[in-house]
């Protein structure tokens, strides 16, 4: 896991979980909360990390790579997740492809934008309706366990999975 | 090679798909876009290296990009309709930015949403030039095929030179001649097994 000298941050924990599960491909539509994670992934030669124009496109790329032997994850914000139901239902779920999703959760715990707040309420029902397991990471002491086990299960069961980053986790500076 | 969409010979998608498939001898991966692109790929002869989409309109090229990144020594084709590509034009910039040498996008441009009843696309009404968009997105090797002979030549170039390549083809409005099975799990398992048999590093 993370070395003794490295400060324990949520993004270092996520990066290590990705490595431990051999997830080498990272596609994202950026988000300010995800910035330290994205910066760390770009800086680490273990990862192939790049932005896409839309989240659907990122799901397509990760699906193709997964079928060709390279594991991947899509990073996005809540509003980006809301564009995904068709791609998830008809590709990742229908074909049983282990596409990992990580959503930085906006629209709750102090949101100022009413649009974001409403979009946020659609996220978990959409995931539940497709039987996509999701876990909300809200505590630093649980983050490594949740991230690693969720990824492990997604690949073992060949099913997409979603990790939701709560402001409780990402809103604190560590 | 041909620069403009105007004055192109209008070709037949099923016939050209067969022509393309006949040239694939190195276990190239082929991603068939939803609808008739897919059905004609099915009709051209089922190969384990073919992946048949059953939804996710617009994602043939992104899926192909993912395969191409995962396996840089295997050539990967996406066969996508004009209406589908119109839904996901941003993927052309992503492909240009990643610049996978082994990726080829074939655009079948019949100007209609054929499978939903043949309605015209906004791109057709506006005479949008998809190859020009691809080139302007940063994919330098983007060409229209003027006729069958030029299609063959462009495919040959895509098989033997570094990409990414885009080949645009104006096609007629003949519906697909076949339909795929609807068995996503079998398609995925078959495709994954084929991809697990790696193509050499040559």
A13 backbone dihedrals φ, ψ, rounded to 5°: -65, -45
Contacts of B187 in chain A (CB under 8 A): 95
The answer to whether A42 faces chain B, any CB pair under 8 Å, is: no
Q: Any long-range contacts for B20-27 (C-beta under 8 Å, 24+ apart)?
A: B20/B44, B20/B77, B20/B79, B20/B106, B20/B151, B20/B155, B21/B45, B21/B47, B23/B152, B23/B155, B23/B156, B23/B159, B24/B49, B24/B77, B26/B74, B26/B75, B26/B159, B26/B199, B27/B74, B27/B194, B27/B197, B27/B199
Q: Which of A95, A96, A157 to mutate to test the interface with B (most CBs of B within 10 A)?
A: A95
Which of A56, A59, A68 is facing B67, going by the closest CB pair?
Answer: A68
Instruction: Give the closest-approach CA distance of B193 to chain A in angstroms.
Output: 9
pLDDT tens readout for residues A115-139 = 999 999 999 999 999 999 999 999 9
DSSP secondary structure letter of residue B74 = S
Q: Domain residues of chain A, as ranges? A: 10-170
Structure tokens at B13: 């998608």
Instruction: Give the closest-approach CA distance of B17 to chain A in angstroms.
Output: 21
Residue A48 to residue B91, Cβ atoms within 8 A: no
**Within-domain flag for B4:** no
Closest CA to B7 of B138, B145, B202, B191: B145
Contacts of A67 in chain B (CB under 8 A): 51, 66-67, 188, 191-192, 195
Residue B39: pLDDT above 90? yes
Residue A53 to residue B94, Cβ atoms within 8 A: yes
Contacts of A64 in chain B (CB under 8 A): 31, 51, 62-68, 70
Question: Closest chain B residue to A92 measured between Cα atoms?
Answer: B56
**Within-domain flag for B2:** no
DSSP-derived 3-state class of residue B94: helix
- What are the b/e assignments for B125-139, b being 16+ CB within 10 Å? eeebbbbebbbebeb
Number of structural domains chain B divides into:
1
pLDDT at A174: 39
Which of A60, A67, A95 is facing B195, going by the closest CB pair?
Answer: A67
DSSP notation for chain A: ---TTS---HHHHHHHHHHHTTEEEEEE---TTTHHHHHHHHH-TT-EEEE-SSHHHHHHHHHHHHHTT-EEEEEEEHHHHTT-HHHIIIIIITTT---EEEEE--SSSS---HHHHHHHHHHHHHHHHTT-EEEEE--HHHHHHHHHHHHHHHHHHT--EEEEE-HHHHSS--
The answer to whether A74 faces chain B, any CB pair under 8 Å, is: no
Residue A60 to residue B62, Cβ atoms within 8 A: yes
pLDDT at A4: 57
DSSP-derived 3-state class of residue B175: coil
Task: Tell me the pLDDT band of B8, cut-offs 50, 70 and 90.
Answer: confident
Mean pLDDT of A97-112: 95
Q: Quick count: other Cβ atoms within 10 Å of Cβ A50?
A: 17
Helix (H) or strand (E) holding B195: helix B184-196
pLDDT at B176: 82
- What's the per-residue H, E or C state across B140-151? CEEEECCCHHHH
Distance CA A100, CA A159 (A): 9
Contacts of B66 in chain A (CB under 8 A): 25, 60-68, 70, 72
- pLDDT greater at residue B2 or residue A106: A106
pLDDT tens readout for residues B82-135 = 999 999 999 999 999 999 999 999 999 999 999 999 999 999 999 999 999 999
Residue A91: pLDDT above 80? yes
Rg (CA), chain A: 15
Question: Closest chain B residue to A83 measured between Cα atoms?
Answer: B56
Give me the residues paired with residue B103 across strands: B76
Task: Tell the CATH topology of A10-170.
Answer: Rossmann fold (3.40.50)
Closest CA to A100 of A6, A18, A29: A18
Determine contact, residues B76/B46, Cβ cutoff 8 Å: no
Q: Which of A68, A84, A92 to mutate to test the interface with B (most CBs of B within 10 A)?
A: A68
Residue A49: pLDDT above 50? yes
A170: left (phi over 0), alpha (psi -120 to 50) or beta: alpha
B71 backbone dihedrals φ, ψ, rounded to 5°: -135, 80
**Within-domain flag for B8:** no
Residue B64 to residue A64, Cβ atoms within 8 A: yes
Contacts of B32 in chain A (CB under 8 A): none
Task: Tell me the pLDDT band of B200, cut-offs 50, 70 and 90.
Answer: confident
Closest CA to A105 of A172, A51, A10, A33: A33
Which of B57, B59, B98 is facing A50, going by the closest CB pair?
Answer: B98
Which of B66, B98, B184 is facing A68, going by the closest CB pair?
Answer: B66
**Within-domain flag for B121:** yes
Mean pLDDT of B167-172: 97
**CATH code of the domain covering residue B185:** 3.40.50.970
DSSP-derived 3-state class of residue B120: strand
Enclosing domain of residue B177: 13-196
- Chain A window 9-28: which residues touch B at a Cβ cutoff of 8 Å? 25
Mean pLDDT of A73-102: 98
Structure tokens at B109: 């441009």
Distance CA A102, CA A78 (A): 9
Residue B55 to residue A60, Cβ atoms within 8 A: no
Residue A91 to residue B185, Cβ atoms within 8 A: no
Distance CA A41, CA A38 (A): 5
pLDDT at B202: 44
Q: With a cut of 0.90, is the ipTM above it?
A: yes
């Amino acid at each position: 896991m993370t070395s003794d000298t490295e400060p324990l941050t949520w993004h270092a924990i996520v990066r290590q979980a990705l490595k431990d599960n051999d997830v080498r491909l990272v596609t994202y539509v950026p988000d300010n909360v995800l910035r330290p994670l994205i910066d760390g992934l770009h800086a680490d030669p273990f990862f192939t990390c790049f932005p896409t124009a839309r989240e659907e496109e990122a799901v397509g790329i990760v699906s193709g790579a997964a079928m060709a032997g390279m594991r991947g994850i899509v990073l996005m914000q809540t509003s980006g997740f809301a564009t995904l139901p068709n791609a998830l239902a008809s590709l990742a779920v229908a074909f049983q492809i282990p596409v990992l999703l990580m959503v930085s959760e906006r629209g709750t715990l102090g949101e100022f934008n009413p649009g974001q707040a409403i979009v946020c309420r659609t996220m978990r029902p959409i995931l539940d309706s497709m039987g996509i397991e999701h876990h909300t990471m809200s505590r630093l002491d649980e983050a490594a366990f949740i991230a690693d086990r969720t990824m492990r299960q997604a690949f073992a069961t060949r099913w997409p999975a979603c990790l939701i980053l709560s402001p409780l986790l990402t809103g604190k500076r560590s | 090679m041909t620069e403009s969409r105007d004055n192109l010979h209008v070709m037949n998608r099923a016939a050209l798909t067969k022509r393309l498939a006949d040239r694939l001898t190195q276990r190239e991966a082929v991603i068939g876009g939803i609808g008739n692109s897919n059905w004609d790929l099915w009709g051209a002869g089922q190969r384990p290296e073919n992946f048949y989409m059953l939804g996710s309109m617009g994602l043939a090229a992104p899926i192909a990009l993912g395969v191409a990144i995962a396996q840089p020594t295997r050539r990967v084709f996406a066969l996508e309709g004009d209406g589908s590509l119109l839904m996901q034009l941003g993927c052309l910039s992503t492909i240009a930015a990643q610049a996978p040498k082994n990726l080829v996008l074939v655009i079948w441009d019949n100007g209609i949403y054929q499978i939903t009843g043949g309605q015209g696309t906004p791109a057709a009404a506006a005479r949008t030039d998809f190859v020009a968009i691809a080139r302007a997105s940063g994919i330098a090797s983007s060409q229209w095929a003027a006729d069958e002979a030029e299609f063959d030549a462009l495919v040959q170039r895509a098989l033997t030179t570094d990409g990414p390549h885009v080949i645009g083809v104006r096609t007629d409005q003949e519906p697909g001649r076949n339909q795929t099975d609807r068995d996503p799990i079998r398609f995925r398992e078959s495709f994954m097994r084929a991809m697990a048999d790696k193509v050499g590093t040559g």
